[in-house]
Structure 1
């Protein structure tokens, strides 16, 4: 190769040189040298290109390398540890929280809406006892319930505390996880507020207290400062309040109940707990005992032999006699609900903040209306009951709630004959069926959803249905053929007529036509607890539980043209250091005004032409008031209702059969000398006397509708035809004899040409003796019969 060629080869990057060398001597290693020369030349020529071919790191990647991230993490850990060490050094264990302890000695003041005092209540009931006075097995019940590792831990639960801090930062409220030491520190040294600062202090002080104090001292402090409900602070007061014994005489079973009670004292108090509350506290009672077995604190054989022991009834507290106790309890509950929502604390913590802490709580109760309601119950019911003459009379309980539909304020409430005699409030209990007072909810769902019948006709007050008793519903996979009151057949009737006379068969079919899911959703929107109920046709009869408070809210929303009303008792709540803002009782528009007003229009027919006409329409004190309402009488006559309203006032009255000794639901047949206690009887009479004594006279509803009994119909009734789609089974028609067995299925309503025999109601004569244990002939169902044998409806 000449010099010129070598020069050109170098300029080309050595390719010719490499090629020449490689072919010159394949066996002498020159080829390898040529390749090396080529690589060297290529490196000299393309080194920059090779580097340029690699992706460059962005600024963010250069900033956040794994080494830097890991270093930062460890840096924060060291910083956190250092901060905690500093916190541990500078935060002392304080003397007891003097402010909190002083507040515990102050009674709450409850006032009427006009500012006059209703009651003073809440002075703390506390007696300190030495731990040696508490049996060791009873001590173990509390450790088993709250903190099984108490005897071995360092006073804190790191995971639980971390979870609590995180939830506080995220605004999720309290999630539990505190040890007994932490709960004692919170009760005695700190406040119940849910802040990061308070939680950090709680953790530091708990560590120090655990080091400075013995476990027995800590457990004694915990047992003596915890709130057990019934205004009882500490285990000695709780033992007396629930079992009428001293702490040293408590059994393991009793101790397990008191330990279970701490999770939610008011909800788990056996005397006033709902069925759900009783199931929950009993489950926790079992949980406590099972944990004791696991920890070898209790022999399994002894545990298996144990039975739940319900506590004694509460003792009356001075100042809560009559209706006052019911009002105070509901006021406390509503204030606690708001504190739980605002501060993210548990029910137990909220109760500890409210009871006996020096609050001034003003209620929405109108003193004059309250007195009128109490007088109406006495004159129209309790004065007519004679337990000596009729044993069933001692089992009759009344409850009522009256609400201003424009403001949502509870202006009057009746919880029972006397708070000292019947501690559970009948105004707020939700364990009895609302029966036919639920029917307006079905109609509201039909109108709001623009539902149609099985024959695709719109459901309106003028739509005709088949009112035959025991007629199987069509379009449901679940067989259901409800009986009308006294097994009465009505034939072809409009929806308006079906509401007036409370015809079960019509509303059962309507519920299926609308869709039971939609019906239950409507109940939830209106304030009932229907979200978790099974969507079955039987719910159309109002077979769920409901309270007068809930039903007053449902009807107040209708009266308020579809704008949701959540009845509220507490007007304001002020403390020495704070004031709680209560939620607005008036919520969103949950129904269109037309739907709400159409239901109201229909319900005026119940009063003027239906089951409430005698007690309400014909009452001489009516004074020109336009009234809407609905009666209800449950299956087996265990409850009877009238919920009604004028433009300015909504009141729900319920009567409940409750065994005086066992508190079990019982039948009311024969009570007050009546064959059957129905919604158009005592409940409607109480409602009328009260309402006509306190509401504005000559008032009319301002309705945005052209349908229903309150307005003149603008079109002829709509007659439903044969179904245009196949139902779940082949339809047949019931023979014209009410005594014949029901067919397997039938259409939603017969065609206009079909003849249906209407059987007369099978009621006993008015002179029939009043039964005490059995219903009248042909009785049953959950409706109200206008031909009521006792003349009430």
Structure 2
């Protein structure tokens, strides 16, 4: 044999030896032995854990703590959570159908299982180890053990204890007793722990009087109490909870607990509106709820907050808060007869006041009292801001350097056609809004249009800027994207917004175009965690030049325009009125160099379920426009909040304030039967060839006769005609009678 053959033989022997070694290491016998060994090890560990872990004493009540809420100066505002809102009831009190609804929703096999769901527990352990959050699939027994004996901590050790204790509890406790404990300890939202408190909170009845349909809703609610509460749920939340309600009833049919025919007759039981907990009377409940909402947005869940132990300091200035409450009482509530006048009974007031340099909410008015009207009128977003939106149209025009149909750059001195019911030019969507009282104006400047809130001018301006560009500017400044169409009618504020939202928007103008986000929580601290506070001041969302030019325009609105009720030499002010379609809402949004405050009145039906109604006739007056009660409240509050006045003045870069203009009067006051002047042709409606972003002194100090309203027809001699702006009917048809000031 040669050397080459010898080397090949040695290589083959080495390879055979290697394969034999691998085979020897991974034989089926060794693999099975290892597997069974691991199983025995896990079983042994579990037996040891089972022997080691005892069922502990109940801890929920003993560890309950208060949450403390303070004003910005550290004085006490409220104390909540000192006791659990719970009344223990026997299972026999709860109707059998309601008991079955909870079992059907949470754990169909409850009466048959051993108290644990191994798959669900394993999934929960994996989720915890991987950081994916809460587990799913726990049995009723496991949830009861977690609520009654353990904590809400998402840790592996807690979950293992839950598993062991659940097995022991299931062996030593009757199923009915476990179910009773579960129903009495679980949290339902609205501050209600236990089924008795939940029945009162959602339906105003005792647990014994709940029907199957109501029980199915409460059972469905447990999956996400804050998201599924019908009073505050989003459209998605309402859809999901209705689906889970139906799922619960279907499971009851499957288990033989509910007849199919009866199931078909059941309708969704809409809960009653929530009421504030005791101790939350007056404005306290609104302030605490606003703080809780901000904490939730910052990651402090309702469950975490309900566990107690939080010290929450608000940005609310105690003196300014009291002044705002007093101003609403003096300027509005003392003028109303809520018990004897049906219209007065529908009036709801809301207000938010913000420091434009920091974003701090220094005062807030939510309504007559949180125990009487729980929904906060300061933060609700179901009414339209009306003509308080017009300054944002101008801001967008300035920011985008937009031009008129005639090619003129839009500024305060730019001339428009002010003919009432004039169809806009250049829009695919027809729109011809009516000016207030159907008054037409001959070639008013943009400044004059702002003073008089001339709809025809701003409707055309939206088209010139484009609705999409106006919307982009508005969203950047803080208007919520809620029912916000991209159509010419947005000039009339046809989206939804709250006084909180608009106070931030106007504070952004006040802050020279830097974004201001209202924030009410100064700090929120717990013994083992703290909330990251909201930064109230953001980046530049519109240029200082644009913001200051709008401020310049709005100072004249207060000086001689629709907001003159707020005019005083005690402070520098800029603002805008707004009155929505059918007089359902009246707004005054205004600011000084130190405060941005928005006040609004809403017409809300006193019938169950509410609904928007007109404010016309409030306090036996005519139309309750933004220049009336809201402006008076704003002026009284601002004077008091600034300590009787302020020497601070607007620092308007590149914009001259000019002199106070002379108030115009219509050139003619025809009788009710007179015919309005004809709408001019497009040629006569074009702006002048020499626009000016800053009005000349002649423009601001006096008006030539040609700028006077050409006609003053009076379609409504009683003075109760609908205001100018508001939601348009479908299609925004030309000539629709929408007015405002």
Q: 1:356 to 1:567 in 2, by over 3 A?
A: same
CA distance in 1, matches of 2:191, 2:134: 23
8 A contact 2:405–2:686 mirrored in 1: no
8 A contact 1:321–1:419 mirrored in 2: yes
**SS of residue matched to 1:304:** helix
CA distance in 1, matches of 2:178, 2:282: 41
- Does residue 102 in structure 1 map to residue 62 in structure 2? yes
Aligned to 1:636: 582
- Does residue 528 in structure 1 map to residue 479 in structure 2? yes
- Does residue 239 in structure 1 map to residue 239 in structure 2? no
Q: 1:751 to 1:249 in 2, by over 3 A?
A: closer
| TM superposition shift of 1:456 | 4.4
CA distance in 2, matches of 1:545, 1:259: 33
Q: TM-score, normalised by structure 1?
A: 0.75
Across the aligned residues of Structure 1 and Structure 2, the Cα RMSD in angstroms comes to: 4.2
Indicate the larger mover: 373-382 or 397-406: 397-406
| TM superposition shift of 1:227 | 1.5
Q: 1:112 to 1:741 in 2, by over 3 A?
A: same
Aligned to 1:21: none
CA distance in 2, matches of 1:452, 1:81: 82
Aligned to 2:288: 328
8 A contact 1:88–1:204 mirrored in 2: no
- Does residue 407 in structure 1 map to residue 358 in structure 2? yes
| TM superposition shift of 1:281 | 5.0
**SS of residue matched to 1:236:** helix
| TM superposition shift of 1:493 | 2.7
Aligned to 1:750: 686
Q: C-alpha offsets along residues 71-91 of structure 1, whole Å, 9 cap, x if unaligned?
A: 99x999998997798478537
Q: 1:480 to 1:216 in 2, by over 3 A?
A: farther
| TM superposition shift of 1:278 | 6.1
Indicate the larger mover: 631-640 or 414-423: 414-423
Aligned to 1:698: 647
Q: C-alpha offsets along residues 22-46 of structure 1, whole Å, 9 cap, x if unaligned?
A: xxxxxxxxxxxxxxxxxxxxx99xx
Aligned to 2:330: 379
Aligned to 1:226: 186
Q: C-alpha offsets along residues 655-675 of structure 1, whole Å, 9 cap, x if unaligned?
A: 000111231111111111221
**SS of residue matched to 2:359:** coil
CA distance in 2, matches of 1:474, 1:637: 28
CA distance in 1, matches of 2:379, 2:135: 28
Aligned to 1:678: 625
**Residue among 49, 70, 88 paired with 1:111:** 70
CA distance in 2, matches of 1:189, 1:218: 12
Aligned to 1:121: 80
Q: C-alpha offsets along residues 229-265 of structure 1, whole Å, 9 cap, x if unaligned?
A: 3322100222233334332321112212322433454
Gaps of 5+ in 2: 9-25, 661-673, 690-705, 728-739
Aligned to 2:303: 352
**SS of residue matched to 2:299:** helix
Q: C-alpha offsets along residues 444-469 of structure 1, whole Å, 9 cap, x if unaligned?
A: 33333333444444333333332222
- Does residue 616 in structure 1 map to residue 566 in structure 2? yes
8 A contact 2:311–2:526 mirrored in 1: yes
Q: 1:295 to 1:379 in 2, by over 3 A?
A: same
CA distance in 2, matches of 1:164, 1:473: 60
**SS of residue matched to 1:232:** coil
Q: 1:543 to 1:137 in 2, by over 3 A?
A: same
| TM superposition shift of 1:700 | 0.9
Gaps of 5+ in 1: 1-42, 48-66, 341-349, 714-735, 784-791
CA distance in 2, matches of 1:80, 1:610: 84
Aligned to 1:54: none
**Residue among 297, 310, 326 paired with 1:337:** 297
Aligned to 1:25: none
**SS of residue matched to 2:282:** coil
CA distance in 2, matches of 1:161, 1:557: 50
**SS of residue matched to 1:653:** strand
CA distance in 2, matches of 1:643, 1:380: 16
Aligned to 1:34: none
The structure with more radius of gyration: 1
**SS of residue matched to 2:648:** coil
Q: C-alpha offsets along residues 754-784 of structure 1, whole Å, 9 cap, x if unaligned?
A: x99954344479xx667xxxx43x755349x
8 A contact 2:420–2:439 mirrored in 1: yes
Aligned to 1:781: 725
Aligned to 1:578: 529
CA distance in 1, matches of 2:93, 2:73: 48
CA distance in 2, matches of 1:423, 1:191: 31
| TM superposition shift of 1:114 | 1.3
| TM superposition shift of 1:362 | 1.6
Indicate the larger mover: 678-687 or 599-608: 599-608
Q: 1:516 to 1:204 in 2, by over 3 A?
A: farther
| TM superposition shift of 1:548 | 1.0
**SS of residue matched to 1:465:** coil
Q: 1:313 to 1:541 in 2, by over 3 A?
A: closer
CA distance in 2, matches of 1:301, 1:747: 70
- Does residue 665 in structure 1 map to residue 624 in structure 2? no
CA distance in 1, matches of 2:363, 2:145: 41
- Does residue 654 in structure 1 map to residue 600 in structure 2? yes
Indicate the larger mover: 411-420 or 276-285: 276-285
8 A contact 1:521–1:530 mirrored in 2: no
Which runs of structure 2 are paired with 1:69-108 in the superposition (5 Å)? 86=45, 89-90=48-49, 95=55, 100-104=60-64, 106-108=65-67
Aligned to 1:475: 426
8 A contact 1:604–1:629 mirrored in 2: yes
CA distance in 1, matches of 2:393, 2:174: 63
CA distance in 1, matches of 2:234, 2:331: 28
8 A contact 1:521–1:531 mirrored in 2: no
Aligned to 2:692: none
| TM superposition shift of 1:486 | 2.2
CA distance in 2, matches of 1:414, 1:548: 10
